Structure 1
Amino acid sequence: MSNKTLFDKIWDTHVVKKIQDGPSVLYIDRHFIHEVTSPQAFKGLEKRGLPVFRPKQVVATADHNVPTLHQELPIKEELSRIQVQTLKDNCAKFGIELYGLGHPFQGIVHVIGPELGVTQPGCTYVCGDSHTSTHGAFGSIAFGIGTSEVEMVLATQCLLQSKPKLMRINVDGTLGKGVTSKDIVLYILSQISASGATGYAVEFAGSAIRALSMEARMTICNMSIEMGARCGMIAPDETTFTYVKGRKFAPQGAEWDKKLAEWKTLFSDEDAVFDKEYNFKAEDIEPMITYGTNPGMGIGVTGHVPELSEIKSGDLPAFEKSIQYMGLAAGEHILGHPVDYVFIGSCTNSRIEDLRQVAAFVKGKQKAEGVTCWVVPGSKQVEAQAKEEGIDKILEAAGFQLRQPGCSACLGMNEDKIPAGKYCISTSNRNFEGRQGPNARTMLASPLMAAAAAVTGKVCDVRELV
């Protein structure tokens, strides 16, 4: 009787060689690259006179440094321009297909992989980007790697990896109205902390997880890295298979039938043992908002910033520094707090379902005066779909700006920065000091909560408006 976890099943079929008392040589099915973490890796290959071992298994796009307005013009920021050009040059030199600016498949690397059908169950995926964990939503092992590892994968299609410990997080029950997958993951983070899954591969399971769409599952796996996890994953099921079928790079015909039979074996066996397990009830989750400077510092929207007495003494200095940066006080309610910017986008929440949800909410409404609202689609395909469905017109009428695809204001690496001292409700994944620009103040929330804040001009309980 097999008693393997989903992680074990995929890991075991990808170990090329186990080094005694050391890591394993792990085969990598697909390698995603972008302009930020690949230049040094390519330089390393050139120095050693090595080719890219399997260029057909590398997917390249430009996302972090790209402007989200006037992409047809040369990039203004010098560093961004150099990085994007270097990626172009390297892909040409090493025979890698690039979905660069102007290409119909360009977009955020973790958005285009799934929508193109490159991301499939049972595979291993890496990228020089921490949020590679997104692809684990398909029942695969996907994780971020460092620049030297990017070079290793380009040269060998393999990676030295130690097997992580295994954790399962079960969420059962039914979500209340106005509560989304982003709230699930922010809730889990608030319960186990931003380091609660350090050293683990996390499988998300339970009836509330199974009820989610593929795009909602991607949001959860995307933020597993914010718990310190090596990767996050969800067992594939009919929802997964339906999503993948018919996409550009998905298997077809007899190959599809063969793959589907394999994919149906990808689940944790009933007697599989995890090193750690958590259980949460969907009914306990309300719309979430962060108040601090890591994604684990979150509360239900009707809650309050913790009192000093609620914080462990060892954590007090960091807690006080964090709320001081955010201009908040211990015990304060965030409900009603004014907002300056709303950013809807990033590899966490820039897919078509996110945009549909926002459009459905803001239809016939107007953004509050003094609030700047940016909606940034995750890819050219999402942008085209939004226009086809008239989402662009709805957003425009409500005073929101639909921009062009890219990582945008998720991180201060391009032109889309939040000014110092301003409050931004963001659907992205990180709220570190200066993440969205020097001294910007970020509150993480779901697209629905962000849209509600845009319309009211303050943090509000979206349940009262839906």
Structure 2
Amino acid sequence: MALTLPLTLADKIWDAHVTATTPAGSDLVAIDRVFLHERTGASALKSMASAGRPVVDPRRVFAVMDHIVDTRPGRGDKTLMLGGQAFITETRAAAIAAGITLFDVTDPDQGITHVISPELGIVLPGCTLVAPDSHTCTQGALGALAWGIGSSEAEHAMATGVLRLPRPKTMLVRFDGALRPGVTAKDMALALIAAHGAGGGAGHVVEFAGPAVRALDIEARMTLCNMATEFAAMAAIIAPDEKTYAYLAGRRYAPTAFDAPYWTSLHSDEGARFDRTIVIDAAAIAPMITWGTSPEHAIPIDGVVPSGPTRAHDYIGLAPGAAIIGTPIDVAFIGSCTNARLSDLRRAAALVKGRHIAPSIQKALVVPGSGAVKRAAEAEGLDKIFAEAGFEWRESGCSLCFFAGGESFPAGSRSISSTNRNFEGRQGPGIRTHIASPEVVVASAIAGAIADPRDLEPQA
């Protein structure tokens, strides 16, 4: 049942997509886009084919090789993951048979799902988009309602064009004021999760708003929305504005002229009621870094490790009361659907230019989020800046955001990473991961220990 005015942005999009309501109160919600990747795509498509169910509208379904694909130069179908090649070849065959759009291993537009969908204009303001990946909420930065689902739900969405869902609650997270120099969208997200817990957004669509959010560029907004899943939110969303329209202009799947009456209506009405509201002073946020085994285990980089679960302290090897700055690190990673876009690489390169990673760093990687990001970065010479500083420059993909791709850092390494999760073993068995912004990653790799990027001046 449609709600009455005034409405939140999430409720407006939800109501525009409800096709029916069940007697039990769940809604049948029309799904505009489905995005698959090779880790789960083949199983969903093959299950549909074996049941004799075609994809109802192949034009709305996309697939990409990103999770398991190798990111080493000269890559192909072979991957370091045991049995990983089968995921790639089976997804390819199933996608071709289903007639859906596939961004294959060697496709110029291959990349991480949540990077290539926005940069190709597949996700649009006001649309619904689902993918079997928890970080699908990233794409809410474009004013879409986007969320992660399971493989069986992906089958249902592809076969019927709808999903049955209860209406989610809504939450407003407003960042007032302005960020201080050296503070990023990643720090905004970690500050929120640290203050309100990794379960704080459970059951909600979170709308990010306020002056500090409006000031972010579109790629930074994607970083903020990306981390909403670490807040347990169903989805995250930011109202589209002129920055959104300018970002989408000319992209392959975007309309040549935007739907002005609809797109400009995509905002929460004055007086709209949210189920919960959180207000954060953006000026009070510092560069953040995690210390334990959950994104909620995050502190300002100039802070001390607090008391927490014993297992978290034992795993990360840091005692309560210890300063986190100066903690030696072994490896560094810049990449993932959180922080591997061109703006991320530009900021990191500006800090690392003319410098070199510490001799104690065993391995340092930069993995662009897409082929388009990689080409643009190379055109600007960013690849050379990173290489001269001691970083390996890779092909696009998820890489060491998680261990499923088969690649790992040396056992027992302490990692500084621009990824989104610091769970036990997330980057490989025994790897202890600290997540932070690309700037913190670069500063720490240069120092050989966790360091504050505000102490580094960008090189001319």
TM tier, shorter chain?
A: over 0.9
Residue type at the aligned position of 2:78: I
Q: What's 1:9 paired with?
A: 12
User: Aligned match of 1:34 in 10, 34, 37?
Assistant: 37
Note the alpha carbon deviations across 1:232-252, whole angstroms, 9 max, x for none. 111111111111111111101
8 Å contact kept, 2:82–2:406: no
Q: What's 1:363 paired with?
A: 353
Residue type at the aligned position of 2:170: L
1:93 lines up with 2:93 in the alignment: no
Structure 2 unaligned spans of 5+? none
SS at match of 2:50: helix
Q: CA deviation at 1:70?
A: 3.3
Q: What's 2:287 paired with?
A: 287
Aligned CA RMSD, in angstroms, stands at 1.1
Q: Superposition pairs for residues 18-417 of structure 1, below 5 Å?
A: 18-76=21-79, 77-252=81-256, 256-257=257-258, 259-307=259-307, 319-371=309-361, 372-417=363-408
Q: CA deviation at 1:74?
A: 4.1
8 Å contact kept, 2:73–2:394: no
Q: Distance in 1 between matches of 2:454 and 2:351?
A: 12
Residue type at the aligned position of 1:399: G
SS at match of 2:444: helix
SS at match of 1:339: coil
Q: Distance in 2 between matches of 1:418 and 1:341?
A: 7
Q: Distance in 1 between matches of 2:238 and 2:402?
A: 27
8 Å contact kept, 1:136–1:231: yes
Residue type at the aligned position of 1:421: G
Residue type at the aligned position of 1:141: L
Q: CA deviation at 1:418?
A: 2.1
Q: CA deviation at 1:71?
A: 4.2
TM-score, structure 2 length as denominator? 0.96
Residue type at the aligned position of 2:346: R
Q: CA deviation at 1:201?
A: 0.7
Q: Distance in 1 between matches of 2:329 and 2:113?
A: 29
Q: Distance in 1 between matches of 2:340 and 2:21?
A: 39
Note the alpha carbon deviations across 1:290-327, whole angstroms, 9 max, x for none. 001011110001111113xxx5xxxxxxx110110111
8 Å contact kept, 1:37–1:129: no
Note the alpha carbon deviations across 1:41-72, whole angstroms, 9 max, x for none. 22321222111111110111000001111344
Which region of structure 1 is more displaced relative to structure 2, 193-202 or 71-80? 71-80
Note the alpha carbon deviations across 1:346-367, whole angstroms, 9 max, x for none. 0000000001111111111111
8 Å contact kept, 1:168–1:277: yes
8 Å contact kept, 1:170–1:205: yes
Q: Distance in 2 between matches of 1:59 and 1:150?
A: 12
Q: CA deviation at 1:441?
A: 0.4
Using a 3 Å threshold, how does the CA distance of structure 1 residues 17 and 347 change in structure 2: closer, same or farther? Answer: same
Residue type at the aligned position of 1:138: L
8 Å contact kept, 2:27–2:164: yes
Q: CA deviation at 1:462?
A: 1.2
Residue type at the aligned position of 1:188: L
8 Å contact kept, 1:67–1:406: yes
Q: CA deviation at 1:2?
A: 2.8
8 Å contact kept, 1:127–1:144: yes
8 Å contact kept, 2:335–2:418: yes
Q: CA deviation at 1:280?
A: 0.4
User: Aligned match of 1:444 in 429, 435, 453?
Assistant: 435
8 Å contact kept, 1:342–1:425: yes
Q: Distance in 2 between matches of 1:23 and 1:440?
A: 42
8 Å contact kept, 2:77–2:89: no
Structure 1 unaligned spans of 5+? 312-318
Q: What's 1:314 paired with?
A: none
8 Å contact kept, 1:71–1:102: no
Residue type at the aligned position of 1:58: V
SS at match of 1:277: strand
Residue type at the aligned position of 1:395: F
SS at match of 2:443: helix
Q: Distance in 2 between matches of 1:275 and 1:73?
A: 48
TM-score, structure 1 length as denominator? 0.95
Residue type at the aligned position of 1:391: L
SS at match of 1:249: coil
Residue type at the aligned position of 2:247: Y
Q: Distance in 2 between matches of 1:368 and 1:163?
A: 51
Q: Distance in 2 between matches of 1:461 and 1:416?
A: 28
Residue type at the aligned position of 2:36: I
Q: CA deviation at 1:415?
A: 3.4
Q: Superposition pairs for residues 427-438 of structure 1, below 5 Å?
A: 427-438=418-429
Q: What's 1:315 paired with?
A: none
8 Å contact kept, 1:241–1:260: no
Residue type at the aligned position of 1:267: H
Q: CA deviation at 1:130?
A: 0.3
8 Å contact kept, 1:411–1:435: yes
Q: CA deviation at 1:22?
A: 3.1
Note the alpha carbon deviations across 1:27-46, whole angstroms, 9 max, x for none. 01111100112222223212
Q: Distance in 2 between matches of 1:13 and 1:320?
A: 47
